[in-house]
Amino acid sequence: MNASAGVLVPRPWRLGDPPPSPPPTAAPPLLLLIDRRALGPSSPRADPLATLTAEERQRHAAFRRSADQERFLLGRAGLRQVLGHWLGRHPGTVPLEIGVHGKPQCPEGPAFNLSHSGDLILLAFHPVGAVGVDVERLRSDLDWRSIARRVFPPARVAALEELAAGERAAAFLQDWCRLEARLKARGEGLAGLERPLRHEAVARGGAAAGLPPGGRESGREILWDVRVPPGYAAALVLATPLMDPPAVAAGGDHPSPPE
């Protein structure tokens, strides 16, 4: 993974591969990309279900679609494999706690966040600062205008409308990922969209996420866009160590744009 021109390039990774080392405190977050399309017969698949807790296996079984099952399994098993390697524990014994907004956190390990959509799963880690990551697949049926009018200030909606017709949905989705990553890093989740003051902060920031893109710091947060395959958008936000830690980390495994 590298950060070039303010864009983070995630490190491709598969379950069973040796996890990379934790990132230094002063470095950008470690960002791992699991692509379901890269899982072939040679991919290590030594029963990832065995790394899940009984409650997690129940959640896995409750998904009706096999794609949803696989996304959850790859994300949660991958998370446990990385944390277990760093903590010197069996992945299934890594303690994870659930905050009131639904996001797991590890009391013994680094801050982390995960998101998945379509064929992609992103896992973000940082030893000190809270992280928020979001990835979204661009859907042909995405009603981006109605969503944008509910969550973005009028000036940003107008700016999206001024783009070429073929660029508007993708630009909205990138804006959404920036906003969602920020809310997750702040520990607010989608509940943060209900606060009028949040809309004001977004408007003052000039971008839909309220942060300048390009790995630049705004206040106590740093935003990067993430380089992902065509048809997807992603962003990551790091709350710097100077920021007061959130009471609860945000989001859930994969919040999506509200319909």
Question: Would 256 be classed as within a structural domain?
Answer: no
Taking a C-beta distance cutoff of 8 angstroms, is the pair 153, 99 a contact? no
- At residue 16, the pLDDT reads 84
Taking the C-alpha atoms of residue 52 and residue 49, their distance in angstroms, rounded to an integer, is: 5
Question: Would 249 be classed as within a structural domain?
Answer: no
Instruction: Provide the pairing of β-strand 97-98 with 104-105.
Output: antiparallel
Nearest residue to 221 (alpha-carbon basis) of 235, 200, 203, 234: 235
> What total of structural domains would you count in the chain?
1
Question: Would 8 be classed as within a structural domain?
Answer: yes
Range of the structural domain that residue 179 is part of: 2-239
Q: What angle do CA 233, 73, 82 make, to 5 degrees?
A: 80
Q: What angle do CA 73, 78, 81 make, to 5 degrees?
A: 125
pLDDT tens digits, residue range 108-128? Answer: 889 999 999 999 999 999 998
pTM reported for the whole predicted model: 0.81
Chain position carrying tokens 């009603």:
143
Taking the C-alpha atoms of residue 46 and residue 41, their distance in angstroms, rounded to an integer, is: 12
Taking the C-alpha atoms of residue 136 and residue 190, their distance in angstroms, rounded to an integer, is: 15
Length of the chain: 259
| Spans of the chain below 50 pLDDT | 3-5, 42-43, 195-214, 242-255, 258-259
Question: Would 255 be classed as within a structural domain?
Answer: no
- At residue 241, the pLDDT reads 58
Q: Count Cα atoms within 13 angstroms, Cβ side, for 68.
A: 9
Q: In DSSP terms, which residues pair with 132 in a beta bridge?
A: 237
- Supply 233's token pair: 């958008």
- Rg of the chain (C-alpha set): 18
- At residue 6, the pLDDT reads 74
Question: Which domain CATH number covers 203?
Answer: 3.90.470.20
Question: Would 258 be classed as within a structural domain?
Answer: no
Q: How distant is the alpha carbon of residue 195 from its chain centre?
A: 21
Question: Would 151 be classed as within a structural domain?
Answer: yes
Question: Would 201 be classed as within a structural domain?
Answer: yes
- At residue 121, the pLDDT reads 97
- At residue 257, the pLDDT reads 58
Taking a C-beta distance cutoff of 8 angstroms, is the pair 182, 257 a contact? no
- At residue 162, the pLDDT reads 96
Question: Would 257 be classed as within a structural domain?
Answer: no
The single-letter DSSP state of residue 213 is T
